[in-house]
Structure 1
Amino acid sequence: MSQRKPPGVSRETWVDRQVREAAERGAFEGLSGAGKPLDDAVLGQSAGEWAVEWARREGADMTAALPPALALRREREELVAAVPGQPTEAAVRAAVELFNTRLDAAYRRPQEVPPVALAFVDVDRQLARWREAHPLGPEEPEAPAAAGPGRGGPGRPWWSRVRPRRRPRR
């Protein structure tokens, strides 16, 4: 049904015309259930039961039909399971930070039923899992050495790393 119902035409007349035109075009020819009676089990199902059965039979992804809290819970499980398969640490960090941003936005919205009750994904823990699954091989370069105390490394206080050093005047 790509057309809108014209004003002044009853809905039943318009739908009947759409069905008749589709039948004339042959849109209903060669369907798998053509000429067969409906199954009694299908007739006894509610619309929701039928939709669940159809999704199971067709292997459809029903994540979009889940309430936001359950969809986030499933997404979190899939994210944590997929961490070892990510190609780089940057990809792991980006995926975790994107999820945490979406979870934060869900917490800021008014709560629905069921409410969102998830912990944020710990970036450092997921990076450690990724590193465990991807040990450095001989072809991979070593990680750069940490800078010494005079080079902005961890030995200097944070405020000295934020502000550039002034050179003494001569």
Structure 2
Amino acid sequence: MSERKPFQQTWNSWIDEQVAKAQREGAFDNLPGTGKPLKNLDRPYEEDWWLREFLEREQLSVTPEPIDLRARITQLREEALKVTDEREARRRFVAMNALIARLNGIPQPDAMAPVAPVDVDEEIRAWRRRRGAQRNG
């Protein structure tokens, strides 16, 4: 469809011709979503609907990376405390330290203090104590 519109042809007739040609060639056959209802028709109109859908589809965030990393670090700690396998808990604490190192390597606003890495062995000892208390309690 990179051909140019002929000088003597109107825009509308040229566009109609391009659409008809694409239909004949099957360009509109088997498109994703064919036969499915349109999403979000019940939502009120928002000017940035397309941006919200793009961010959701591409799994992007508008939150600054340092804030995202801090949230992920907190999430990893909570997940590590819930797992029942010590190796998995250790893996999550190590992953937490990797995120902390990444976070501390990013320039941050003055109000955000660096995050100290965790002592993985101390975290595992605390994890064991909590696991023992849960079994006994």
- The TM tier, using the shorter chain, reads 0.5 to 0.7
Instruction: Give the corresponding residue for 1:94.
Output: 91
Instruction: Give the corresponding residue for 2:47.
Output: 45
1:17-49 CA deviation, whole Å, 9 max, x = no partner? 8974443x2536412139xxx66822x331477
SS in structure 2 of the partner of residue 134 of structure 1? helix
- Report the alpha carbon displacement of residue 87 of structure 1 after superposing the two structures with TM: 0.2
SS in structure 2 of the partner of residue 78 of structure 1? helix
Instruction: Give the corresponding residue for 2:8.
Output: none
Within 2, Cα distance between the matches of 1:92 and 1:100?
Answer: 13
Contact (CA 8 Å) 1:69, 1:116: kept in 2 or not? no
| Alignment CA distance shift 1:29-1:131 (3 Å) | closer
| Alignment CA distance shift 1:22-1:101 (3 Å) | same
- Report the alpha carbon displacement of residue 70 of structure 1 after superposing the two structures with TM: 1.9
Letter of the 1:97 counterpart:
V
- Report the alpha carbon displacement of residue 131 of structure 1 after superposing the two structures with TM: 0.6
| Alignment CA distance shift 1:96-1:68 (3 Å) | same
TM-score calculated relative to the size of structure 1: 0.45
Instruction: Give the corresponding residue for 1:78.
Output: 75
Instruction: Give the corresponding residue for 2:36.
Output: 31
TM-score calculated relative to the size of structure 2: 0.53
Gaps of 5+ in 1: 1-5, 137-170
- Report the alpha carbon displacement of residue 83 of structure 1 after superposing the two structures with TM: 2.0
Within 2, Cα distance between the matches of 1:82 and 1:121?
Answer: 15
Instruction: Give the corresponding residue for 1:152.
Output: none
SS in structure 2 of the partner of residue 105 of structure 1? helix
Letter of the 1:41 counterpart:
P
1:102-154 CA deviation, whole Å, 9 max, x = no partner? 32133234x25696743323424421331123329xxxxxxxxxxxxxxxxxx
Larger Rg, first or second structure (1 or 2): 1
Number of equivalences: 114
Instruction: Give the corresponding residue for 2:126.
Output: 129
- Report the alpha carbon displacement of residue 80 of structure 1 after superposing the two structures with TM: 1.2
Letter of the 2:47 counterpart:
Q
1:140-170 CA deviation, whole Å, 9 max, x = no partner? xxxxxxxxxxxxxxxxxxxxxxxxxxxxxxx
